[in-house]
Structure 1
Amino acid sequence: MNGFGIKEFQFCGEPWMFVSENSNDVCILQKEDFGTIFVTEGVIIYCNDNKNLQYKILSVLYEQHLLEIKKRICICIYDEQKSLFEITKNKTCFTINELLAQFPENIAEILERSLLNLSRQFPNRGQEIILEDINQERQILPCYCFFAKDEKEQGFIIDAMLEKNWLSKIDGIHTWPLKITVTGWLEIESTLKRTDSKNVFVAMMFDEKTNEAWNYVQKAISELGFNPVRIDKVEFNDEINGQILLNIKQSAFVVADITGHRNGVYFEAGFAMALKKDVIFACSEVDFEKKHFDVSHYNIIKWKDEQDLYEKLKDRIQGTIALK
């Protein structure tokens, strides 16, 4: 790729550090607010040609980094290009359209997710929210923290949160510093728990051994008025697909059957829990003693056969989810 053999260059209108380029024309970039990302040459050209979308891409990347999912993000143009990336357990692959699909749909969602961004960056109750770090000469809250395309739009969003009493001015006069109010923290808790979705994301090992289990999981979820969602293509070398993360975000809750102990299933459950989604764990009694230590303290459904899984899962959903 010509012109990228330098230490710093512009990507999406922001200066990034160029780390390296591999034989597949995949560039490795780093920036403090985003960590390390992998992008194809086509993505760089696309972003340069579509300046009106740059702030949306940066906003979603920033939010992903704040979620601390500990995954390096890979971005390509087409789904089949995901094979260009060296598949490892610590990479999340998105097409550019999958990434853009995660941008908020309306002003209400922008306000809610901007508030969540602030709570992740300033997690302590009563903590001062500052715009910039004078000592490091860097802006702590850039426009993409608020899903805003410029400072004018950023100001509008901050003013809206002040009007909602989600934020307040520390001294009552100047805009900065701010703090999240009690009303703001209550809204954060409500936003993390609230969903109007009827979708239920199912994370499980997909092969011939678990096809029957999936049929009974699907039956239990559907009979209670929910829509079970699974993405079969999750199972290739534990790669976490961007579409999977989007489906988890849009689900009412998650069912994670850890039978087979696939790393991808554990990660998807962890990602859902980071979003404060309810996660129902299940595991066949054959594999039960092999479960990871991280989930051993959860109330895991232990099933002996598919009918047992169906009955126990349906009871658990009725007892813990349907009544909320």
Structure 2
Amino acid sequence: MCDIQHVQDVMDGWLTAELWSTLAVRSHPPKRARPDRTRRKFGLKVGDYRMQISHYHALLIGYAVALIGWLLADRVFPTLWPRREPASFNRPWFEVLWSIISVIGVLLVGQLYTRGWLLPDLGSFETLIEVCNQILIFSPILILLAIRRHPLSSAWLPMDKMWARLAIGLTLALIAILAFTIAHTGSDSWLMVVPRVYHPKNLGLLVQVLLEDITIAVLFVRFRAVLGLRATIALVAVLFAAGHIPTLLTRGATISELSSLILDAGLGIAILSVVQRSADIWWFWCVHFAMDMMQFYVVT
């Protein structure tokens, strides 16, 4: 199944790429069902390359629409996202070390998952088992918050008016999907794509994206306490872009594809700038999940 394969790919490549690319997944776009008779150039089919460009540009447009939408929502509903003081720690470098250790723990448990050593697939309970496995994979981050007795706000999980912020996030996600399907070459219609994205079988991926976002928030908040806001945004954005280099080189990417890493860094800066301003994962989780799922369901 494509969703299980996606999870395996995520955990296999986390250390070099996926930890940061969860902020804006630049995944391989889906292939068309009909035969592709286009010629090859630089090791890639020209038709596939065009689909990659279309997918990536549509992804940029989808995220841009969602980010602009949040900025407007923040002005219309200012009480939903009050300005919060950044988290402070008595020993910030110590907390950074703890967070790095926790991420290493996530990577190790993820390797157990890829080898089939976590909860087994029980057929009719596949979705529930997948949810439990994702919680186990990211449990080191959750344990860190519990052991260090840090508030949920230090992971950008404010609980006040959570449902209202989730509702706005879901609305922005639906609008982002609409923008994506309009911008993407050969995309199925919005009415066809939305039910595929929000199918119950994707519950495991929904939980995975939430836990990924929490992990990013935990790292960002603690690095910010040491490096400051601008340096942390720049660091994460550069790591996000650089993390794609091994995959691109393996695929025999062209110079134009490699130059798109600049756009990757720019997108990372834009997303981080907005999300850290909101200090809220709940709304962004909805958008992130929707954009992630575009790699599976935008083209039949």
Q: Shorter-normalised TM-score: what interval?
A: under 0.3
What is the TM-score when the length of structure 2 is the normalising length? 0.25
Structure 1 or 2: more helix by fraction: 2
Structure 1 or 2: more strand by fraction: 1
Higher relative contact order (CA 8 A, sep 6+): 2
What is the TM-score when the length of structure 1 is the normalising length? 0.24
